[in-house]
Structure 1
Amino acid sequence: MDAATTLIDAGGATVAPGLIDSHCHVVLGDYTPRQKTVDFLASYVHGGITRVVSPGEIHAQGRPHDATGVKALAIAAMSCFRNFHPNGMTVHAGAVVLEPTLTDDDFAELQAAGVHLAKFGFGLYEDPADGYDQVRSAQAHGITVMCHSGGASIPGSKPITPDHLMHLAPNVCGHLNGGPTSLDVAGVDRIIEQTDMALQLVQAGNLRSSVRILEKCLAEDRFDRVVIGSDTPTGTGVMPLGVLKTVAELSSLTSADPAVVWAAATGNNARTWDIPGGFLREGEVADLVVLDAPWGSTADDALGALAVGDIPGITAVITDGQLRTLTSRNTPRAARLVTVTPPAPHLAEAGH
């Protein structure tokens, strides 16, 4: 406290771990070719997102499918985002897109370069079941594999069924609630009951399916496997509040405590992908969000707002111990605002 150069008084508002978007379609730089939008990641910080995890740079224009190109894209994305932090965000990029051209030696090379993420579902496989060898090789080299699930999301991709998922056995079942088209109820239940995959719920999926999945996981003591992402930017759009909106929806439409739902978008994500952040505790990276009930809400605080389905107002975002934003330009105004000493007018002006 005595050594601090900046004092932030939350003024009675809620302090929470920064949100982690576990399904954010980055490419290179703060630009999305899918929606032709610049600075979307910096804007996501105003939505309380302090870290994002890439599900593969699949929206790269002219994306390669040969082994050399696939490896080069993953390594380049990972390396570039190590040096680039839009508005203080940490981007865990460089998820190699699994292709039939990749061999065990290729995965050894990727591991040596530091790649630890992979995505299955957009490679040139005749049948998704044919990706078994690449999934096993990736996992053997310490790479966490997320797999597409449900109907095809873009032209040229294929639906991935419960049978495919059971056979492939990835670490994470991507958008189990649909990306955007969900699996059928029986198939979803097979994945929940008969595997140990992480179960990802996304904003760009099927809300009805999300609600049912979360209730089932809570009832069966499987919540530790539930993780949240936005699955944006996609055809659904650029959504700075995508994760926060999902937390509000699931908090208000299920029996879950809003603090528990917040954990699915923070600590559960951090544990699943073995990345920093996600917790509010001594020794953890200082990625924090200060938020409160929005003006006009019937609730008295941030958790109460989430419980009734209101988007809380974000009044400060801190990453790596540094203040990045004050009044969010994307959320409603918080009822209670932070006080910063010394003042930071250049950040206050970024709000609305």
Structure 2
Amino acid sequence: MRTAIVNIGQILTGDMTMPFIDGDTIISADGRIESVGTGEADSVRGCDVVIDANGTIAIPGLIDSHVHVTFGDYTPRQKTVGFLESYVHGGVTTAISASEVHVPGRPKDVTGIKALAVAASKCFQTYRPGGMRVHAGSLILEPGLVDADFAELTAAGVWMVKAGFGAFQTPYDYAPLVKLAREHGMVSMVHTGGSSIPGSSGIWADHLLKIRPDISYHVNGGPIAMPDEDFTRLVNESEMALQVCTAGNLRTTLLVSDLLAAAGRLDRLLIATDTPTGSGIMPLGMLYTISHLTSLGNLPPEIAIAAATGNNAIAYRLNNGIIASGRDADIVLIDSCMGGSKSDALSSLRNGDVPAIGAVITDGVPRFVGRSRNTPETMRRVSVARSNIVQDFSATSH
């Protein structure tokens, strides 16, 4: 399938080193971006679907790198069906499991945690709610795991591990297992802040600096933050990515952003939601945190968007999250909201407003075009200019 998006007002790449790219057209083929810039008439004419962006802004699909998936599009924590598909209407095209810790009756023995990770990983390899990519199967680290277990899991396709909920005497005991995971090429994440569920413990900077994960999960608190002085230590004494979440502490979200900006390391800033949890379900959570960092933290909107897209893609070694030739064609069209006080999406973010979503495309396939059911209407109407596909791309059919 070939898809063209034309008449784009501005293209944000998601790449923090080059956040803007000139052009008004993006063409994708067979799920990958083929070209970005000015589309030749013949190339556009040869597409199966042509979307008229009508001056709206194109950004990469948002990557929520902290979602508590279980099995299917269901959360037992909030007893809700269809939350992932609803997140697509919040511009989220990729969800990354923060481990399947909310599975009822979650096993804690080595055989059980391995089986849980493998099953979750394989279930979501072909299941894509609303067109969303879901990277599931994050191994919950527990005592008793050995090198052979990590070899077995990587051979089965499991590539993430999560520390923070295991039956260890102290958080320092995670360090050897995180080291083993790294040796097997796995991405490692560690719960940061106060205890979030019964049986877990607080994990602060000294623990993290001994464990040395790839990513400090909800460094701003999940939902309770660590002491302020610990943030400076993580920024200055480590290279780990620092993930801030909507379901955390907003004041320390802004603190993390300021510290990383001062250090010239905003490439380490990741945006996620940490949902569904006790904070609930947040289809617009990514957009809210982007708007908070932009309006309250004075982060340029293009940089905040990069923290929610390209930075996550780099940290998790994904091929989406950046608009460039050869990347996965996950694209969202945003605009100012109808009736709002600002004339474009970036100005709206600076004002503290969430933008309206006019279309979501994943794998080069339009998932809806015209209006998200979770945001107000766009000021500029996005439409399907031409289609050879017998399908209604409106939100009402999604």
* Equivalent of residue 200 in structure 1, options 218, 243, 247: 243
Unmatched runs of 5 consecutive residues or more in structure 2: 1-43
Tell me whether 1:109 sits opposite 2:152 in the alignment: yes
Select the structure that is richer in strand: 2
- Count matched residues: 352
Conserved? CA contact 2:88–2:132, under 8 Å: yes
1:341 pairs with 2:371: no
Amino acid corresponding to residue 358 of structure 2 in structure 1: T
Q: What does 1:49-60 correspond to in 2, within 5 Å?
A: 49-60=92-103
Distance 2:269 2:355 in 1: 22
SS, match of residue 23 in structure 1: strand
Distance between the aligned counterparts of 1:257 and 1:173, measured in 2? 23
Q: Partner residue of 1:165?
A: 208
**TM-score when scaled to structure 2?**
0.86
For residues 349 and 251 of structure 1, the distance between their equivalents in structure 2, rounded to whole angstroms, comes to 28
Contact kept? 2:114, 2:153, Cα under 8 Å = yes
Is the counterpart of residue 6 in structure 1 residue 49 in structure 2?
yes
Shift of 1:345: 7.7
What are the equivalent positions in structure 2 for 1:136-175 lying under 5 Å apart?
136-175=179-218
Contact 2:301/2:349, CA 8 A, preserved across alignment = yes
Aligned residue identity for 2:175:
Y
Aligned with 2:366 (options 307, 310, 323): 323
Question: In the alignment, is residue 278 of structure 1 matched against residue 345 of structure 2?
Answer: no
Partner SS state of residue 82, structure 1: coil
1:274-308 Cα offsets, whole Å, 9 max, x none, are 01211111111110000100012221111111111
Show the counterpart of 2:87: 44
Confirm or deny: 8 A CA contact 1:311 1:332 kept in the other structure: no
Does the Cα contact within 8 Å between 1:328 and 1:350 map onto a contact in 2?
no
Which residue of the partner structure matches residue 123 of structure 2? 80
Correspondence 1:264 to 2:310:
no
SS in 2 for 1:284: coil
**Contact 2:64/2:271 (CA < 8 Å) preserved in 1?**
yes
Aligned partner letter, 1:335 = M
d(CA) in 1 for partners of 2:313, 2:395: 32
Q: What amino acid sits opposite 2:382 in the alignment? A: V
Mapped partners of 2:395, 2:161: distance in 1: 39
Q: 124-133 or 184-193, which moves further after superposition? A: 124-133
What secondary structure, in the 3-state scheme, does the structure 2 residue paired with 1:70 have?
helix
**Distance in structure 2 (CA, Å) of the matches to 1:242 and 1:340:** 27
Shift in Å, 1:138: 0.9
SS of match in other structure, 1:165: helix
Aligned-residue offset at 1:134: 1.0
1:303 counterpart = 2:346: yes
Aligned partners of 1:328 and 1:351 also within 8 Å:
no
How far residue 349 of structure 1 moved from its aligned partner, in angstroms, is 4.8
Question: Deviation of residue 176 (structure 1)?
Answer: 0.8
Distance 2:153 2:391 in 1: 44
One-letter amino acid of the structure 1 residue matched with residue 333 of structure 2: V
Residue in 2 aligned with 1:63? 106
Q: Which one of the candidate residues 215, 224, 232 is aligned to 2:267?
A: 224
On the 8 A contact 1:55/1:119 being kept in 2, the answer is yes
> CA 1:345–1:309 in 2, change beyond 3 Å: closer, same or farther?
farther
Aligned equivalent of 2:298:
255
Checking the alignment, whether the CA contact within 8 Å between 1:211 and 1:254 is kept in structure 2 is yes
Asked if the contact 1:47/1:241 (under 8 Å) is kept, the reply is yes
CA distance in structure 1 between the aligned counterparts of 2:136 and 2:313, rounded to whole angstroms:
15
Percent identical pairs in the alignment equals 48
Q: Secondary structure at the match of 1:217?
A: helix
Residue 78 of structure 2 is matched in structure 1 by 35
Task: Specify the code of the residue in structure 1 equivalent to 2:380.
Answer: R
Match of 1:293 in 2: 336
Which structure 1 residue ranges, 4+ long, deviate > 4 Å from structure 2? none
Distance 2:96 2:379 in 1: 31
The one-letter amino acid paired with 2:372 is S
Is this contact kept in 2: 1:286–1:318, CA < 8 A? yes
Deviation, 1:346, is: 3.7
1:351 Cα deviation from its structure 2 partner: 8.5
CA drift of 1:129 comes to 1.1
Counterparts of 2:177 and 2:166, CA distance in 1: 11
Moved more, 154-163 or 102-111: 154-163
Does structure 1 residue 245 correspond to structure 2 residue 288? yes
| TM-aligned CA deviation for residue 127 of structure 1 | 1.3
Work out the CA distance in 2 between the residues paired with 1:142 and 1:177: 27
Please tell me the root mean square deviation across aligned C-alpha atoms, in Å.
1.4
1:350 aligns with 2:396: yes
Residue 219 (structure 2) pairs with residue 176 (structure 1) = yes
Distance 1:34 1:109, change over 3 A: same
Q: How far apart are the structure 2 equivalents of 1:330 and 1:231?
A: 19
Q: Secondary structure at the match of 2:396?
A: coil
**Unmatched tracts of structure 1, length 5 or more:** none
Give SS of 1:286's match: coil
Q: Residue 352 of structure 2 aligns to a residue in which SS?
A: coil
**More divergent stretch after superposition (327-336 vs 43-52):** 327-336
